[in-house]
Amino acid sequence: MSFNGWKKYIEEGDLVIVYMSRENMIPITIKKDQEFNNRFGTYKHNDIIGKEFGSKMVSSNYKGFVYLLHPTPELWTLVLPHRTQILYLADISFISTLLELKPGVSMIESGTGSGSFSHSIARTIAPHGKLYTFEYHEERAKLAEVEFKAHGYGDIIKVHHRDVCKDGFQLENLVDAVFLDLPAPWDAVASAKKAFKQDRTGKICCFSPCIEQVSKTVTALEQNEFIEITMYECLMKEHMVVPVQKLSFQDLIQEAKQKKLNGKDGSSVTVPVKRRLGKDEPIPTAEEVEESNQLMLTSRTPGETRGHTSYLTFATFLPSTAF
């Protein structure tokens, strides 16, 4: 089953992402005479074979249904077996953009971990790019290599079992970009510098959860003559669409009079208020809002932003020939 492409019909041996809800998806490999079960019923693999990817499938007892999705790197990140902590889509997209990944790029990744980022990299640099991924844990390296081959990335991803902080990458004048997700990325910076193509600029990113790690990494980057060193932090914030009732100017004046509050200095402060829809009132569609003279859509954000996951430190390799 190839992640690097698209097929229309499900066949035996294919990997299928079974979608039950936004928070509930699982990967299954289709095999004849086997079944998939959930609390709403049974789904026979024999009935799945021949269906189109994206199809809706009803359970055998007609009490529930699932969607049969084609695997993608984005979906794989949400359902993969966790062997380590992984990168999620917000960081993956940001890193891919700032590392200037595109078809044909050669890149180093260390460590491989659960292979979440590896799949997105491989899809982005295909068909002629190359990813050299390094993992110090032998069992994880073997499992990752099996997955990459099964998912159609065997020709793009080359897995190495090595502790790069001690032994380096042992690659020279070869890659355009480097990504380091290591406990001590500063120990691999000098080796990474040798791995860059020495006649052109390159990009490096170091993923670190602690600011102390960032400080040591920046020192190592400066000592190895990297330039444009910049640190970012990605935080997720949800925007919720909320319909509210429109109020005329006269309505605002009237409501403000009814909502007077006493200020600290004893003066009177007016507070205009827009009424939100009650819990039992149905949320209108966008078309209904547009047609209504009484409603408008607003964007609201929650009071708190999702917590910190990491700092991303980027820098540019400048070849000596540029001076």
Query: Over 60: is that where the pLDDT of 143 sits?
Result: yes
Going by the annotation, the residues of the binding site are 135, 163, 181
The pLDDT of residue 97 is above 50: yes
The pLDDT of 117-137, averaged and rounded, is 97
Q: pLDDT class for 84, splitting at 50, 70, 90?
A: very high
Q: Which of 41-50, 240-249, 282-291, 297-306 has the lowest mean pLDDT?
A: 282-291
Cβ contacts of 215 within 8 Å, gap of 6 or more: none
- Within a 13 Å sphere around the CA of 293, how many CA atoms are in the beta-carbon half? 1
Sort 241 into a burial class: Cβ within 10 Å, 0-12 / 13-18 / 19+: exposed
Predicted confidence (pLDDT) at residue 266 exceeds the cutoff of 60: no
pLDDT attached to residue 44: 95
C-alpha 314: how far from chain center: 18
Task: Report the distance separating Cα 214 and Cα 225, nearest Å.
Answer: 16
Q: How confident is the model at residue 22 (pLDDT cuts 50, 70, 90)?
A: confident
Comparing 202 with 4, which gets the higher pLDDT? 202
Q: What is the pLDDT of residue 263?
A: 45
What's the mean pLDDT in 183-194?
A: 97
Exposure string for 104-138, b = 16+ CB within 10 A, e = fewer: ebbbbbbbbbbbbbbbbbbbbbbeebbbbbbbbbe
Cβ proximity of 233 and 207 under 8 Å: no
Query: φ, ψ for residue 96 (rounded to 5)?
Result: -60, -40
- Determine the Cα angle at 87 with ends 116 and 104, to 5°: 60
Average pLDDT, the chain: 88
Q: What is the dihedral of CA 273, 279, 285, 286, to 10 degrees?
A: 20
The token pair at 27 is: 């990967």
Q: Kindly state the average pLDDT of the residues 273-290.
A: 56
Residue 49: band (very low, low, confident or very high) from pLDDT cuts 50, 70, 90? very high
Q: What single-letter DSSP state applies at residue 137?
A: S
Which residue ranges are tagged as binding site for S-adenosyl-L-methionine?
135, 163, 181
pLDDT of residue 231: 97
pLDDT value at 129 more than 70:
yes
pLDDT at 260 > cutoff 60: yes
Domains and CATH numbers, the chain: 9-71 (3.10.330.20), 76-235+308-317 (3.40.50.150)
Greater pLDDT, 123 or 242: 123
